Amino acid sequence: MPETPMPKSLAQITDTLQDVCVMERVSEPYVLVLFGASGDLAARKVLPALFGLYVRRLLPESFLIVGVARTPYTESSFREKTGEALNAGTLSGSLKADWESFARHLYYVPVEYGSHDSMRALDERLRELEERYGLLRNRIFYLALPPPLYEEVTESLGRAGMARTEQGPARIIFEKPFGDSLDTARRLTRSIQRYFDEPQIFRIDHYLGKETVQNILMFRFANAIYEPLWNRQYIDHVQITASESIGVEHRAGYYDHAGVIRDMFQNHMLQLLALVAMEPPARFEAEAVRDEKSKVFRSARPLDPGKLKERWVTGQYVRGTVNGTEVPGYREEKNVPASSLTPTYAAGVFYVDNWRWNGVPFYLRSGKRLARGVTEIVVQFRSAPHRMFDTVMSEAAGPNELVFRIKPDEGIMQRFYTKVPGSRLCLQQVRMVFSYQGLKGAPLDGYQRVLLDCMTGDRMLFVRQDGVELAWEILDPVIKALSETGFPEAYVSGTEGPEGADELLGRSGRRWRSLLED
């Protein structure tokens, strides 16, 4: 039998991958009912993601998107507003034709969220559209709304009989945050589950839809060379960073109540930690993966209030310069109280007290108005056990790093040391890089991925009820303890955060990886 020729270039390799790894297209017709359709989230994220899926031919031939909000749009004005959000006026060629075709799938119904009569009218309109286009009653409700409206809208949907259809149970999508404490999360769950069962509920965390985040599991469990090293014996510590150069922008009303820990740690940051720390699931299936993530949260070391300063630092940005532009401090932002103590930065040390990770610190940090917008996971290995080159070198070789870059420039990077050519003994640190930029075709963005998975019923990237509650159990004591300490530490916009964060690692002889490192 003749041998199969090996691909000779990256283009050939990616062509082969495109043939083998076909994206799953949504096959069943559906109606997606977008609550909050006139709002900012729908315009910036949800509608562009749906159009992106349509352009990629991943949506079924028969589907409708019905915008729902209090704003008294007509269907014509809703299509016009959606076109503005997508910059449809600048499209040309096939993209312009795609927009014109996509727009014909858009409809709009004005509602009052808490009104039973209004919801019944919405149901009648949906039935009319479903009958007109010969669609099965396969509905997805997307709540692109402020979290305080979740209970009211869910209650209205349930009372109107819309949690079930003739086709089967409807699906309902919630944006984060899911509650603002353990008590409110449990109360919200009880309210929702009066009408919707857990398998119908999809709690979105768009970070989990990013390609590099999904690749953490593939990288760990499909490559035998790393799994033997993935434990306390070889890994010194893990850093997880989600920094932003922007301020609170239009979210000041929400953000001043939530703060950085509720906004970022309860969902994005702890989810990333769980993917790094979890055990191999018995099967690559949604419930098996989510079981292992929940086990990580159950193993998290509780906060000892007496050691708060050893494990947590918070900060709040003040006036400074970001990317050459002078920006205001947090208390100078529109709709932020001048006396606000809300932290815009937090850094914390987490420990997972199980056999694999006992004693290994996980350092998590997130903040706004920092030097650069970066989201990454750095796995730092222990230094070589015998520094045989120290006596002949001015600087010792540092530890190896494995970096999962989630944004910008998604990819995976390994840092290690090699000899400089021609020298008798001189080491240099080099990088081995995998980048999605080198692959054919753009990957799905986070919202496209999670929307597609919801439509196909794949729950792996969505957070389960116990995962939400366990995360709040970890962070509720932290939020309470920090609220009693007074002022967060000030840090200048455009820097890497408060000095206390450096001290958090410095006490153990470690340092944060710079936000400006590649």
Specify the 3-state DSSP secondary structure of 378.
strand
Report residue 447 as tokens: 């919202």
How deeply is 268 buried, as exposed, middle or buried, from its count of CB atoms within 10 A (0-12, 13-18, 19+)?
buried
- Residue 405, helix vs strand vs coil: strand
What gap in Å lies between CA 187 and CA 13, rounded to an integer?
A: 50
Burial of residue 68 (CB within 10 Å: 0-12, 13-18, 19+) is buried
Task: Give CA–CA dist 17/57, Å, rounded.
Answer: 18
Burial of 513 (0-12, 13-18, 19+ CB in 10 A): middle
Interacting residues of 142 by C-beta distance below 8 A, sequence separation 6+: 32, 33, 34, 35, 46, 173
| CB contact at 8 A, 448 and 196 | no
8 A C-beta contact, residue 178 and residue 145: no
Buried b (16+ CB within 10 A) or exposed e, 298-335: ebbeebeeeebeebbbbbbbbebebeeeebbbbbebee
Annotation says 268 is catalytic: yes
CA distance 108 to 55: 22
* 235 contacts: CB under 8 Å, gap ≥ 6: 229, 360, 379, 380, 381, 382
Q: Give the count of alpha carbons within 13 A of 438, CB side only.
A: 10
Q: Which of 498, 476, 176 is nearest to 345 (CA)?
A: 498
Distance in angstroms (rounded) separating the CA atoms of residues 263 and 460? 22
Neighbours of 269 (CB within 10 A): 27
Beta strand 401-407 with 411-419 is antiparallel
Q: List the catalytic residue out of 105, 206, 237, 268.
A: 268
Q: Which residues are catalytic?
A: 268
